[in-house]
Copies of this chain bind each other. A is one copy, B any other.
Amino acid sequence: MFERIRQARRTARERVELDALIEDCRQLLTERGESNSLVIAARALERYRALSEPAVHQLFEVLAGEFDPDPAVVLQLAQAYAAEQSPENLIALMKAAEPPRQELLRRLNRAPDGTGALVAMRARLLQRLRQQPALKSVDADLQHLLSSWFNPGFLTLRQVDWNAPAQLLEKIIQHEAVHEIDGWTDLRRRLEPDRRCFAFFHPMLPDEPLIFVEVALLDAMPAAIAPLLDRRSVPETREDRFKVAVFYSISNCQPGLRGVNLGNFLIKRVAERLQQSLPKLKTFCTLSPIPSFASWYARVEHIESPRLKPAVQRELNAGLQRLRERHGRDLSPLVLPPAEGAPARSRTAAADLQMMQRLCAFYLTDTSPTEQRASDPVARFHLNNGARLERINAAADLSRNGLRQSFGQMVNYLYDLDEIESNHDRFVNDQVSTSKAVLGLL
């Protein structure tokens, strides 16, 4: 009973705060707000941070509903612009068509730590988007502005090493998304002289890594992930041995920056930086997972593509059927090392393994309409960046996750700095750049 009263009071108090916050937002957009915007913006964000979860959702709704452009005005100005394309007409139209919400967000951004608050706000908004699709317009405005503010010209590339602040390293441990970092000893191995870690930072969030990449410096392109991650391996310190830089992990730290292009720029800046400091490096490549090959394999029934020679298409379909018959929908056993004392891998097994790789090659390079470019997100990311599909490695990741996703296969994507532009160009036109070896599989 008392609890209900207390709850009611809390709700009432919250309602008052939410109303005050919405009033702040309105005021920020008035002429008066422009002059005192710092004070009002700081106040508004302080109120925002104190809101309960439901109140935040109500705020989002208000933001989505109240700060849209006026349809009648926009229409009228669009007609005027259509009638005469004068600068004046264009400027008037542009101003009217931009949601006032954008100006509101720009003014909130002026507050101390405003940028951090808006990035965090978008992270929350994205979690609500499915339940409240009407918030899409708010999200579009936030993404539009954050893309402008977090453009690569404003970002700083910093190397993260064992001399970095512990609080930063702690965030690296926490955000590593591809190959989990198991504590400080594991991290330390990844920062030895034959490993590198680089992160992007924004001047307004100097302690927050936005995205980071981990690199291994090796003498040859690697075919398996386990040796790279082995924390007991002895670091190679002779720099003249480093021929290949392998981007083996790339992780975003800020969910609020989803859709803001960072990874592409990071890889290229890091490649340049490494090239400068280690001129003997010849090769920049990845060792990447294939997150959805297994699920594609499990559901695909028939292989067909105008790009395949009919004979090859027949072979693949026959192979697919054979694999299904022999192994069902899980090919993992093919790659697992035979139990002790068991007979060596048979010739049939070897043929099956090769067929799996051929199917994988098809899967990664197929851009026929049904599959719409490489359907694998990692492949799409690197190919769109201008990388080349260089090598498919069987038995490259025997972790539970690796077997589940791709029956242990991993891919090397190659960044040839001279070909990036043309590769990307081809990919835009539905062609995947591949090495001869991968081409040979088809």
Do residues B87 and A133 form an inter-chain contact, with CB atoms below 8 A?
yes
Is A164 an interface position by the 8 A CB rule? yes
Do residues B32 and A91 form an inter-chain contact, with CB atoms below 8 A?
no
Please, how many angstroms separate the alpha-carbon atoms of A184 and B169 in the complex? 12
Do residues B85 and A81 form an inter-chain contact, with CB atoms below 8 A?
no
Is A153 an interface position by the 8 A CB rule? yes
Do residues B425 and A32 form an inter-chain contact, with CB atoms below 8 A?
yes
Chain B residues whose C-beta falls within 8 Å of the C-beta of A268 in the assembled complex: 38
Is A386 an interface position by the 8 A CB rule? yes
Is A245 an interface position by the 8 A CB rule? no
Do residues A153 and B87 form an inter-chain contact, with CB atoms below 8 A?
no
- A 419-434 binary contact with B (CB < 8 Å = 1; else 0): 0110011001000000
Contact A74 B93, CB 8 Å, known A152-B38, A153-B114: yes
Please, how many angstroms separate the alpha-carbon atoms of A261 and B37 in the complex? 11
Cross-chain contact of A32 among B99, B106, B424 (Cβ < 8 A): B424
Is A90 an interface position by the 8 A CB rule? yes
Nearest B residue to A202 via CB reads B203
Please, how many angstroms separate the alpha-carbon atoms of A424 and B39 in the complex? 13
Nearest B residue to A165 via CB reads B163
Instruction: Give chain A interface residues in 81-109, CB to chain B under 8 Å.
Output: 81-82, 85, 87-88, 90-91, 93-94, 97-99, 106, 109
Of the listed residues A166, A183, A261, the one surrounded by the most CB atoms of chain B closer than 10 A to its CB is A166
Do residues A385 and B74 form an inter-chain contact, with CB atoms below 8 A?
no
Task: Give A17 Cβ to nearest chain B Cβ, in Å.
Answer: 20
Is A332 an interface position by the 8 A CB rule? no
Do residues A164 and B165 form an inter-chain contact, with CB atoms below 8 A?
yes
Do residues A85 and B68 form an inter-chain contact, with CB atoms below 8 A?
yes
Do residues B97 and A94 form an inter-chain contact, with CB atoms below 8 A?
yes
Please, how many angstroms separate the alpha-carbon atoms of A79 and B77 in the complex? 11
Q: How many copies does the complex hold?
A: 4
Task: Give A253 Cβ to nearest chain B Cβ, in Å.
Answer: 17
Do residues B94 and A71 form an inter-chain contact, with CB atoms below 8 A?
no
Chain B residues whose C-beta falls within 8 Å of the C-beta of A154 in the assembled complex: 115, 149, 203-204
Task: Give A28 Cβ to nearest chain B Cβ, in Å.
Answer: 13
Is A151 an interface position by the 8 A CB rule? yes
Number of interface residues of A (CB under 8 A): 77
Cross-chain contact of A110 among B79, B106, B152, B203 (Cβ < 8 A): B152
Chain B residues whose C-beta falls within 8 Å of the C-beta of A77 in the assembled complex: 78
Task: Give A67 Cβ to nearest chain B Cβ, in Å.
Answer: 11
Is A237 an interface position by the 8 A CB rule? no
Is A384 an interface position by the 8 A CB rule? yes
Is A353 an interface position by the 8 A CB rule? no
Cross-chain contact of A91 among B91, B136, B145, B261 (Cβ < 8 A): B136
Nearest B residue to A163 via CB reads B165
Is A31 an interface position by the 8 A CB rule? yes
Chain B residues whose C-beta falls within 8 Å of the C-beta of A31 in the assembled complex: 428
Task: Give A165 Cβ to nearest chain B Cβ, in Å.
Answer: 5
Nearest B residue to A92 via CB reads B140
Cross-chain contact of A162 among B74, B167, B384, B385 (Cβ < 8 A): B167
Is A16 an interface position by the 8 A CB rule? no
What are 16 A-B contacts defined by CB distance under 8 Å?
Answer: A31-B428, A32-B428, A36-B420, A69-B94, A74-B78, A74-B82, A75-B81, A87-B133, A90-B137, A91-B136, A91-B140, A94-B99, A94-B140, A94-B144, A109-B151, A164-B165
- Which 10 interchain pairs have the tightest Cβ spacing? A97-B97, A203-B203, A78-B78, A87-B136, A87-B137, A71-B82, A110-B153, A75-B82, A163-B165, A75-B78
